Chain A
Amino acid sequence: MSRWPRRAQYLLLIVWAVFTAMPFLWAITTSFKDVNAVQGHVTYVPWLEFEPTLEAWRQIFGGAGGVNLVGPFVNSLIITVCASAIAIVLGALAAYGLSRFRYRIGPAKNKDIVFFFVSQRIMPPVVLVIPFFFLLQMPGLLDTRLGLIIVTVALLLPIAVWVMVDFFDNIPREIDEMAMLEGCTPMQAFLRAIVPNSAPGLTVAAMFCAVFGWNDFFFAFRLTFTQVQTLPQAVVALNSSIPPWWTLSAAALFGIIPLLVLAVLVERYLSKGNLAGAVR
């Protein structure tokens, strides 16, 4: 390799790393500010330019101000984990089927069915939310975790199917055929021969599901009233006419933590190079 691509590579990495980190650095400093450090002029360095305070961090864990993010955090965790798990189970089954069998529903073949799944993501949320409201109202699932889980599953299923179809397509079908010849029913073949070899694909699917599930504000906000608050809702509830930038910043940082774990996990699989067909 000649030298300039090498230099370009480092330059790109440095510039992008700074760009990526900037909002986080800003959020971190801001989370130690109060109103006086925010209005008037811009400050960056604690102690030197403003007096840091832990007020924002105290607040999000139930200090004054009527905010407590712990309850919403738990709600978000339950909803995200359940919805992702259900979406991945249903999605993996469907994706395996689509990867291994030929289907025909009316004029639709496998490719069209996969497109049907993925195309659900085209629906603007505004289209879905009012009907969802009525849908959940009938069985009394508004303002419940179960209701949100059901809706979230619908949002995540397309992602899970999309990731897993491609992943399974890259696992030789002879493996599960052989399992069948060796006495496994197709379900057993799937569970015993394919699933154990799908950790990378499942992890990527889990990551995408978790990201979209965890960060859903739109539906959680409109399908709950007072009983089920998710984390993004609770953070947005801080956005009053004087936006408390500091609390918002602290809350934003707090909300990233669980997903960081997933980022590290996904990176591990990337490093091993065995994400192969997980995302194609």
Chain B
Amino acid sequence: MSVVAQSLTSWVDGEAHLDDVTLTLEPGRIHTVLGRTGAGKTSLLRVLAGLSDVDSGDVLLDGRSLREVPPWRRETAMVYQQFINYPHLTALENVMFPLRRAKVPAAEAQRRAKEALEQVGLTHLSDRRPGALSGGQQQRVAIARALARRARILLLDEPLVNLDFKLREQLREELRGLFSGVGETVVVYTTTEPAEALMLGDEVIVMHEGRVAQVGSPAVIFETPATTAVARVVNDPPMNVIPGTLQGEHVAVRGLDLLPRASHLAGFADGPYLVGIPAPSLTFGTGPGVLATITFVEISGSETFVHVDLQGTELVVRAEGIHDVSTGDRVSMTVDPSRLFLFTEDGTLAAAPPHGRS
């Protein structure tokens, strides 16, 4: 009962929204699709739902083509990033709507709707219309509606992106619990947030510019990103990728001092490469080292992202805690050479640091 996407390709106005996307989606597992805005995530969901057409390729359900099956016969549920409910119906009626359309008897539909609302903790608000609910509550209704249907395919398109930080964390936790009971449903969940994708996904699909860049378990994706693009997408802040060369005992990276060649980089021929420097592997201080200029400071929760200019190269540093630095300050940079990634010049992963070190 799996869903198979076969070479889905879709062009709109000369731009590829989907470019030869092939995937196998298994029931009972949560597939998170990670990618930047415009990577093709939403397009993929819309094609799976039957809302958008493809130029070539097909979607198979249990080996049967869905190409001529219109959305209303696909048994697909969807949760949008905007909190979409029917404004003229109450929360309960909203959840019942798809059940009634599926010819579930009224009493049964009501029972299931109430159950779903209880699951998302909205029993007390079931008579309110969406207009009278907060954003988070509205999204809970939408999720309840999707869950109550027990559809064969459940699609969630960045469902948490429009919520504020705290609510997002909270709902993310709850989602894990809610998804644990999906049983025979194929769940596809898109997000731009690496943490969300890695935390929720049984399998992570990284998309980049309409293509599938890598598919794998969260650990595989994070520890061995197949390409520089994946490496950037699965890290927050994105991994720094800078041209460099292997020279005997050293790794030369533009702007930085010669670094010692760590053990996982042994066995590669000297020559030009792309060097991946994870933001946490960089540290700055006042001691000796290469001087860089701070161009921008971002404080994100308990961490600080510091953007620096290193003789023409832009780098991002992730530091724990709050640091008292400001734009224009000159700081010295140091790198942990054992945490470097190595990519060939065309962006394919050559070497990753040993597990457990990132």
Using CB atoms and an 8 Å cutoff, list the residues of chain A in contact with chain B: 172, 174-175, 177-185, 188-189, 193, 196-197
Contacts and interface: CB of A to CB of B under 8 A. Distances in A.
7 contacts: A172-B84, A174-B82, A178-B84, A181-B71, A188-B72, A188-B101, A189-B72
Interface in B139-195: 145, 149
A181 B72 contact: yes
9 cross-chain pairs, A with B, having the tightest CB-CB distances, nearest first = A183-B101, A182-B98, A196-B88, A174-B84, A180-B71, A174-B80, A180-B72, A181-B76, A181-B78
B49 A181 contact: yes
Nearest to B102: A183
B188 to A, nearest CB: 13
Nearest to A180: B71
A221 B84 CA distance: 50
Contacts of A185: 70, 72
B86 A197 contact: yes
A179 B102 CA distance: 12
A247 B74 CA distance: 66
Interface string B112-126: 000000000000000
A21 to B, nearest CB: 38
B41 to A, nearest CB: 15
A22 to B, nearest CB: 42
Nearest to B86: A193
A180 B51 contact: yes
Nearest to B78: A181
Given A182-B101, A184-B101, A177 B87 contact: no
A184 B88 contact: no
Given A182-B98, A183-B102, A197-B88, A177 B71 contact: yes
Interface residues of B, number: 22
Given A178-B78, A181-B77, 5 more contacts: A175-B86, A177-B49, A182-B101, A182-B149, A188-B72
A11 to B, nearest CB: 38
A185 B88 CA distance: 19
The winner among B77, B80, B88 for most chain A CB atoms within 10 A is: B88
Interface in B62-117: 70-74, 76-78, 80, 82, 84, 86-88, 97-98, 101-102
Contacts of B87: 175, 197
Interface string B4-26: 00000000000000000000000
B312 to A, nearest CB: 45
A185 B78 CA distance: 16
A193 B86 CA distance: 7
B78 A175 contact: no
A203 to B, nearest CB: 15
Most buried by A among B51, B70, B71, B77: B71
A182 B97 contact: yes
Query: Which of A175, A178, A185, A196 has most B Cβ within 10 Å?
Result: A178
Nearest to B49: A181
A179 B86 CA distance: 9
Nearest to A189: B72
Contacts of A181: 49, 51, 71-72, 74, 76-78
Contacts of B71: 177, 180-181
Nearest to B142: A178
A216 to B, nearest CB: 34
A179 B149 CA distance: 13
A6 to B, nearest CB: 33
Nearest to B87: A197
Contacts of B84: 172, 174-175, 178
A178 B102 contact: no
Nearest to A185: B72
Contacts of A183: 72-73, 98, 101-102
Contacts of B72: 180-185, 188-189
A277 B87 CA distance: 15
